[in-house]
Structure 1
Amino acid sequence: MKLRSAGLLLLLLSGLQADGQEKEVRAMVGSDAELSCIHTEETSFDLNELYVYWQIKDTNSMLETVAYYLPGNTSVGHHNNRYKDRAQMSLDSMKQGNFSLHLYNITPQDEQKYDCLVFRKMTEKILKVEVMLHVAANYSMPVVSAPTAAPQDEELTFTCTSTDGYPRPNVYWINRTDNSLLDEGLQNSTVSLNARGLYDVVSVLTIRRTPHVNVGCCIENVLLHQNLTVSSQKASEPFPGSTGSNTDVPGEAEAGKSSTVVAAIALLLTVVVGAAAGWWCRSRCPHRPPWGYAGARAARPELGLTDHV
């Protein structure tokens, strides 16, 4: 008898329109969510008079029941096996006008528009609320593979991968030199659903070879307002086969070292010769004050050292 009543009620509900109460709820995969459906005009209800339904539309736009309550039931019933033991309404809360649905262990497949329908004695509609459940999951940090092209190749190929996210991502490649977006025509992105119902993405970028190329891969999760960006390399790191601007040229370094040695020897000889000349002059000219000549000679090597430095 109860099943016949439930079927008759579904026929009546199929023609009802929402009362303008539309809500949005966001939930992460694996978490719990509460879909709110509260009657604010009354604070006390007799459960023996209430018929409560939570419904969705299937892929064929047919009504499908997630959970329901019928008068005389000692617990809330579940019609859809996919929601069995995952959807719950509180009997005590319903007595106070709170007909909210609790969903546990959210999956990507739970992203639906849910209708809360409450009747008194099957014929008096007292509440209808629409709740849109949005589901999200964080993508893994992107991994960008370095190019393996030979030095003579004119093009470089980068690959970016990220997994286990929801909803479907946007993929961008960025020129890290000026943080400008690269032309989408240069990339080929493949997004697929894995066994968990989450998205995996693989994006391949092909660009012309230039010295010190540095690109970034960005995975955007619009629902979470999240951008995950990873660069292909450090800005100062050259690619294999390229020549760094600070590379020393063999021969020039050796020549520089030789010039330094020669200059040091010449400076040493100047100091030695000056000291010997001073000693010879002092021994030959004892009548001059020792401090007059020695002071001048002492100053010359200092000037010479300063000039070379």
Structure 2
Amino acid sequence: MNLSRVINLLCTACFLLQVFCTKALGIDSVIGVLGGNVLLPCICEPSKRSDLYYLCWQIDKTLVFAITNNTPEYGENFKTRARVSENEIQNGNCSLHLSNISVNDAKNYDCIVAVGDRESKKQSISLKVAANYSEPKLEVINNSMTDGNISVYMCSTYGGYPKGNIYWTLDDEPQPQDSDRIQFNSTNETRNRSYNITSVYTVVNVPHQFRKIQCIVENSALQVNLTASYEESPYPKKLMEEKKKMTIIATVSVSIIIIVTLILAVLGIRHRNKQAGTSVI
């Protein structure tokens, strides 16, 4: 019987013995970023004799990594991605280094350790995979604020995992997700199963009212929200520019008038003081 067969049988046996020992309060979890590296912790008993160690990492009954008599063994799809430091094992650290993680790696992992003739011990950890979404892009699809009844906005982002949500606010007021004016769409990338999500929001225009639109992209797994904003006026851009110029001119004019008034006041005071001095003489 070859070594691989022996290790698989040992892993299976340990799994059957330990299957009822999972913590009643649930399994601890670790979040890894899609395409990145992650460390799955496992504390084991320190020993200077690594040749007496039996260590097995597995998913249910499927081998991920095992080492016995200083000989490592790898499960399918893990040979170049799974690693446990033999030096760390002697220091009581049996943690699994997993690289280039994918959505398929999001499972419950068991770390089973036995030293010499002692009873094996199992620790379980759940790996959850997530990925950040790109900065959201907020676009105006149809702007009829000045001469129509509705305006349409689109918010889009890509590359995130798991599937996120897009929320809208109008003048800082949250808009109901089940509204007929909000249309949500998502697509799944074949390569890494990340999501591209888009939301279209239709707003009924209110005459002569300024507007602030925000779309908020939520990634619940990473507890990260990304926001894009857009502000617009019910008045044409050219008119707004003219009003801005008039405001600047008015401000400058008022400032000049105040300065001239102050100068004249100072000169008047000096003139009166001079006349008063002449009268005394």
**TM-score by structure 1 length?**
0.65
Distance 1:132 1:208, change over 3 A: same
Deviation at 1:14, TM superposition (A): 3.2
Once residues 117 and 135 of structure 1 are traced to their aligned partners in structure 2, the CA distance between those partners, rounded to angstroms, is: 23
Deviation at 1:130, TM superposition (A): 1.0
Deviation at 1:200, TM superposition (A): 0.9
Q: Is 1:155 the equivalent of 2:150?
A: yes
Deviations 1:29-55 (A, max 9, x none): 34322111112xx42153333322111
Larger Rg: 1
Q: Is 1:222 the equivalent of 2:213?
A: no
Seq. identity, %:
28
Once residues 132 and 240 of structure 1 are traced to their aligned partners in structure 2, the CA distance between those partners, rounded to angstroms, is: 56
Once residues 223 and 196 of structure 1 are traced to their aligned partners in structure 2, the CA distance between those partners, rounded to angstroms, is: 17
Once residues 7 and 30 of structure 1 are traced to their aligned partners in structure 2, the CA distance between those partners, rounded to angstroms, is: 28
Q: Is the 8 A contact 1:53 1:67 kept in 2?
A: yes
Q: Is 1:134 the equivalent of 2:131?
A: no
Deviation at 1:205, TM superposition (A): 1.4
Q: Is the 8 A contact 1:45 1:94 kept in 2?
A: no
What is aligned with 1:209? 205
Q: Is 1:14 the equivalent of 2:15?
A: yes
Once residues 110 and 211 of structure 2 are traced to their aligned partners in structure 1, the CA distance between those partners, rounded to angstroms, is: 53
Which one of the candidate residues 74, 78, 85 is aligned to 1:78?
74
What is aligned with 1:234? 231
**TM-score by structure 2 length?**
0.71
What is aligned with 1:267? none
Once residues 125 and 206 of structure 1 are traced to their aligned partners in structure 2, the CA distance between those partners, rounded to angstroms, is: 64
Which letter maps to 1:129?
Q
SS in 2 for 1:77: strand
Which letter maps to 2:80?
D
Which one of the candidate residues 175, 178, 183 is aligned to 2:176?
183
Q: Is the 8 A contact 2:211 2:231 kept in 1?
A: no
Once residues 240 and 104 of structure 1 are traced to their aligned partners in structure 2, the CA distance between those partners, rounded to angstroms, is: 54
Which one of the candidate residues 64, 67, 85 is aligned to 1:66?
64
SS in 1 for 2:54: strand
What is aligned with 1:36? 41
Which letter maps to 1:118?
V
Distance 1:239 1:170, change over 3 A: farther
Distance 1:84 1:72, change over 3 A: closer
Corresponding pairs, count? 234
Deviation at 1:112, TM superposition (A): 2.2
Deviations 1:136-155 (A, max 9, x none): 32211111111325576533
Deviation at 1:108, TM superposition (A): 3.3
Once residues 91 and 168 of structure 2 are traced to their aligned partners in structure 1, the CA distance between those partners, rounded to angstroms, is: 54
Q: Is the 8 A contact 1:45 1:97 kept in 2?
A: no
Deviations 1:200-241 (A, max 9, x none): 10111123222434321100122332211112x225x33779
Q: Could you say what the CA RMSD is over the residues aligned between the two structures, in angstroms? A: 3.1
Q: Is the 8 A contact 1:160 1:202 kept in 2?
A: yes
Which one of the candidate residues 111, 115, 131 is aligned to 2:110?
115
Distance 1:239 1:147, change over 3 A: farther
Once residues 235 and 58 of structure 2 are traced to their aligned partners in structure 1, the CA distance between those partners, rounded to angstroms, is: 57
What is aligned with 2:95? 100
Which letter maps to 2:231?
K
Q: Is the 8 A contact 2:59 2:108 kept in 1?
A: yes
Once residues 5 and 79 of structure 2 are traced to their aligned partners in structure 1, the CA distance between those partners, rounded to angstroms, is: 21
Once residues 111 and 235 of structure 2 are traced to their aligned partners in structure 1, the CA distance between those partners, rounded to angstroms, is: 59
Structure 2 counterparts to residues 284-299 of structure 1, below 5 A: none
More strand by share: 2
SS in 1 for 2:142: coil
Q: Is the 8 A contact 1:27 1:33 kept in 2?
A: yes
Which letter maps to 2:194?
L
Gaps of 5+ in 1: 58-62, 248-309
Q: Is the 8 A contact 2:8 2:63 kept in 1?
A: no
Q: Is the 8 A contact 2:4 2:73 kept in 1?
A: no
Q: Is the 8 A contact 2:11 2:58 kept in 1?
A: no
Deviation at 1:126, TM superposition (A): 2.9
Which letter maps to 1:3?
S
Deviations 1:127-177 (A, max 9, x none): 2111122333221111111132557653322111001112221210111x2
